[in-house]
Structures are given as structure tokens and as C-alpha cells.
Amino acid sequence: MRHVKSILLWTLAAAAPVYGQTQPASGALDPRQTDALHEFSASIQNLAHRAGRAVVQIFASGYALRDDEEGSSSASLLTRQRSTGSGIILTADGYIVTNAHVVRAGQRLQVQLSSPAESAPGHSLLRPAGKKITAIVVGVDRETDLAVLKIEAQNLAHLALGDSDELRQGQIVLAFGSPLGLANSVTLGVESSTVRQLKPDDPVVYIQTDAPINPGNSGGPLLDTDGRVVGINTLILTQSGGSEGVGFAIPSNVVKNVYAQIRKDGHVHRGQIGVYAQTISPGFAAGLGLPQEYGVVIADVAPDGPAEKAGLQVGDVILRLDGKPMENARQLEVNIYRRGLNEKVSLDVMRGRDALTVQVPVIERKDDPQRFADMVNPNNNVVARLGILGIPIDRKVAAMLPELRKSYGVVVAASMFGSQGGLKPGDVIYALNGAPISSVDALRSALSAIKPGEACILQIERDARLMFLEVELE
């Protein structure tokens, strides 16, 4: 399979007529041309067959409130919601990566494997549907829109994550998945751009491809011609609702980091070094007297943070991180995200005319709400009626949240699928219907006394603001 790209280039060159060259009188193609086309086609078929066995279709179902068609405010109905997407098996024992939005609304998840039947001469080309297996969510990272599922199975076909940093514009890629619910589909295209940021504050840098991607492809793999997963198909830009040749995938190197952390801890830790960096513009360079007109400049250094302790200063230009050139601030942030907590990064820095190399330890981002997930035990911390895992505020938690308005309450450590009222990780619950809440047991007890349909008003703190949250309990 490593020769597919060279075969295609040779085929296109061989098949194209050359000006002034005499063609066979019969008008038939040169046999060399047809052989090359056959070889290229066979290579793609072989790749599709091998990879398709590791691609799954995911079915998510649950319940959600929907207003009636008349628009009456008094008739909100609890209706069953169903959605479908794709996923890729990464291990023989059933670990699967998909998009977080594929499983976000699902209280019940099922994974349909590819059909084990093989097409053979004399047999129908229509193969039976693959086996459906119930899946559990190992963890979700909404910032990168990735989720890890687990099914109980062994000896499954699976694929390896490749190195997305090796991708080049124009490279051939294949997109697998279940577009519009059509299982086990494959499309062919090229890498339109290896780095695409949709918004300045977007947490992910995407791969852009013209391989057709449609709703239902989400979570499926984007493969290179060696059969390695170089991305996870995630979204499209469209005016019609269908594929317009502008599709985006999460790079496999981002997937690797998120997948490894979720398997280990059930969630993702966000690393930082205590700096605020900005991309250098020619104006920055001229006004600040920087040594170059591109790259990354440190605009702020957090007091008592690892960067300050390592000697970094405002105005330093970061040239390289662990030997890799840093060309913009987002690249720096993403590369620090990938490092493990307490791991040190090596920064090559220019300060005026002086070149420096400093070692800086990576610490957890202080405002990361997922940091509380390490402190919970599902058996002790689940609040089923709200669909959350909560932890009481004690000395340790209070030290992590020094600016809280009150010294008591329950912190939302994690929200489960189907959580009620829009509670988010990091929210702090202070009261229920005006009564103070100081522990998880007290919250569960107060909730148990409320009947379905009765008022349930939570007082919470979110982003340093107090607010009331109305929750409709089932």
C-alpha cells in the first residue's frame, strides 16, 4: 500500500495524451495505462477492505424535551431522540474513538460492527448487518469534541493512529463512516490544508479535506494511503446541508493525546506553563523592537508560575519548543497541551540579542473544571436526579477555588449524559429552593423530597457570578 501515491501519479502521467505523440490507430489505450489504473484501483479496494472492518456505526438514543408544533408553552413533551455517527476501533479489546457530539445526547449507546461476511463469487454482494453491541462512555472531552467508548469484545479488527504532522497538502486521503446513515461508506480526496483554524479562539486546529464528508461521517477515520488514521472526521462547512468539499478532521496527534488521557484518567488534563503568548505581527516587531517579524512573543508571565520561576520575561520571543519551531501562539498552546503534567518543556528564547534555553515544568490549568473529576468516586458522588457527580467543598477544594462567594456547597465535578438544567463542570451548588446545601448527601436528600413537576430552583455560582437555575426533575 505504500506505493499507491506513486502509482496514481504514474497513472495520471501515463494516461494523459502528449501533444504531437501518435496514438494507436484503433483508439485503444496503451496496455501500460490500463495496468496502472487497475493496480491503483486494486490498491484502493484493498485499503478500503482492510480499514472498513475497523470502522463502526454508533447509535445513540435518549430522551429530551421538545416543544409541541403549536408552540404552546404549556406543552413541552418528553420525546425520544435518536442519532447516528461513526467511530474507529483502536484496540483488539474494543476501545473506540468518536466525536463527543455523536454520543452527547445518548443515554443508550450501541455500536454496530462491520459485517463479518466476505463477498465471494456466486454470493450476493449485499452482506448482512454486523453485530450490535452495547457501549459505555469511558470519557468525553468537549473542548476537542472527542469521546472514547468501550465495548466488550475481543480479537477485533483495529487501526493505528498515524502522525498527522507528516501530512502534506495534496496528499491522497480516504474518509470512512456512515454518511446519512449509510454504513461502511468510503470517499476519496486530497488533503486541502494540513492546518486550518476556523475561529481565532477555536481550541482545535483542523485538517481540511475535499474527500466528501456528510452528516453521519462524524467520528469516522480519515486515512492516509498506508492505512493509518491521520484524523477523525468532525464537521463540514456547508450552505446546502450536504457535502460541498469542505470537510474537517481532528488531527491524529491531538487524538492520541486525548485518547491516552481518557483511557488513563477518564478525562483530559490541560497543561500550561504560566504565560500568555501572542503571535508576532510586523507591527509588534517594529513597535516592540523584536528580533523577527514572525513567531511567538510572551505578553504576560503569571506571578509565581513555572515560567516566572524559570526566568522567562515579558517580551521574550519563543523560537522553539523541544526543538520544534513555534510560528504562532496557538501552536505553542496546543503543543503544551500535549505534554504530561509535571513534564518539562525546553524553550529556545530570544531576549533582545541574547539566545537562551530554559526548562519549564508543565502544570495543570487552574481554571480547568475537569480537574475535579480525579476526586470523585461514582459510588459515593453521583447525584442521579441531576445527572452529575458532585464533591463537597472542604479545605482541599476551597484552596482550589479561593474566590468562591461562600465557604460551603457542592462542586459539579462532572456532568453525565442526560444531566438536568444545564449544570456544567465547575459549577458550585449553594442552595436548593432557598435551603443551603453543604454536602452531596444533603443535596440527594433535598432532591428526593421533590416530586416530578414541583419547583426545583438551584442557586449556583458560575464564572464568579451567582445565578438561579431552574431544573425540571423527572
Range list of β-strands (E), 262-310: 271-272, 275-279, 296-301
Determine contact, residues 274/363, Cβ cutoff 8 Å. yes
Range list of β-strands (E), 220-284: 221-223, 229-236, 247-251, 271-272, 275-279
**CA–CA separation, 357 and 117 (whole Å):** 58
387: left (phi over 0), alpha (psi -120 to 50) or beta: left
CA diameter of the chain: 93
Quote the DSSP letter at residue 438. Answer: -
User: Who's near 374: CB < 8 A, 6+ residues apart?
Assistant: 265, 267
Which set of grid coordinates corresponds to residue 348? 529556545
In Å, how far from its chain's centre is CA 226? Answer: 23
**CA–CA separation, 90 and 263 (whole Å):** 12
Determine contact, residues 92/116, Cβ cutoff 8 Å. no
User: Who's near 465: CB < 8 A, 6+ residues apart?
Assistant: none
**Alpha-helix residue ranges (DSSP H) falling in 301-348:** 306-310, 329-337
- Helix 4-15 / helix 31-52 crossing angle, nearest 10 deg: 150
448 flagged as catalytic:
no
Given 43, 83, 101, 178, the catalytic residue: 101
**CA–CA separation, 129 and 260 (whole Å):** 31
**CA–CA separation, 105 and 61 (whole Å):** 7
Number of Cβ within 10 Å of residue 13's Cβ equals 11
Number of Cβ within 10 Å of residue 335's Cβ equals 16
101 flagged as catalytic:
yes
Given 145, 348, 368, 427, the catalytic residue: 145
**CA–CA separation, 344 and 360 (whole Å):** 5
Q: CA geometry: angle at 84 spanning 78 and 87, to 5°?
A: 140
Positions marked active-site: 101, 145, 218
